Amino acid sequence: MKLILATYNEGKVREVKKIMKEFEILSLKEIGFDEEIVEDKETFLGNAMNKASFVHDRLKDRFQDFFVLADDSGLEVKALGGKPGVFSSRYAGENATDEQNIEKLLFEMKDIPFENRGANYTCAMVLIYPDSSFITSIGRCNGKIAFQPKGKNGFGYDPVFLTEESNYKLTMAELSEDEKNKISHRRKALEGILNGYRGNKI
C-alpha cells in the first residue's frame, strides 16, 4: 500500500520509513510534487490536516488506493503562553534561521528562572485513507529551555531543549539520531497513527 508523506523534509522521510514498515513510503520529492503547501492555521492539527488534504486532493486522479500522512510540529513554552507554537520555524521572521529563532527565544526568556522554563515539543499528525476518511494523533516531548545552546545534532530548537528523559542535563542536540528518535514528539505521534491504523484493520 502506497503512503505519500506530505513533506519536503528528508529527515522526516527517513524517520517515518524506519517506523511505518507496513507501507511503501514515497516523499513528495520522489513523486515529483513541488507545489507550495500553505500553513496558515492556528493549531498544529489544523496545519497537519490542511497539508494532508491538499496533497490528497492533488493526487487522487494520479494514484489509486493511496494514503497521505502529514504532520505539523513546533515548540511550546509555558512561560511565553505557548509561544512560539505554530510560528516556531519563523519566530524571528519569515525567513529566519534556526540560530535567529533561538536567539529571540533566549532573549525573551533571559529573566525567567530555570524552574519556570518548562516547554514541550508537540507534533500533530493526520493519516488520510484512500476513501478520504482519516485518523489523527498528537505526540509530545517534555523538557525545559536551556540558558544557552549546546550540541551539534538535530535542528530547530534542539540545542536549547533540555530533555526530561535526561533529567534536564542533555539537550536534544546532544543526543544521537537514534536516541532522539526513541523519545521524540514525532515518534510518539507516529506510534499513535500506527496504533490507530492497526486497530482500524481489525
Task: State CA 20 to chain mean position distance.
Answer: 16
Residue 75 is inside which H or E element, if any?
strand 66-77
DSSP string for residues in 109-158:
TTTS-GGG-EEEEEEEEEEE-TTS-EEEEEEEEEEEE-SS---SSS-TTG
Which runs of consecutive H residues, i.e. helices, occur in the chain? 10-19, 44-59, 98-108, 177-183, 185-201
Catalytic residue list: 72
Rounded Cα distance, 84 and 64, in Å: 38
CB-based contact 164:145 (threshold 8 Å): no
Three-class DSSP category at 85: helix
Instruction: Report how far residue 175's alpha carbon sits from residue 25's, in angstroms, rounded to the nearest whole number.
Output: 26
End-to-end CA distance of the chain: 17
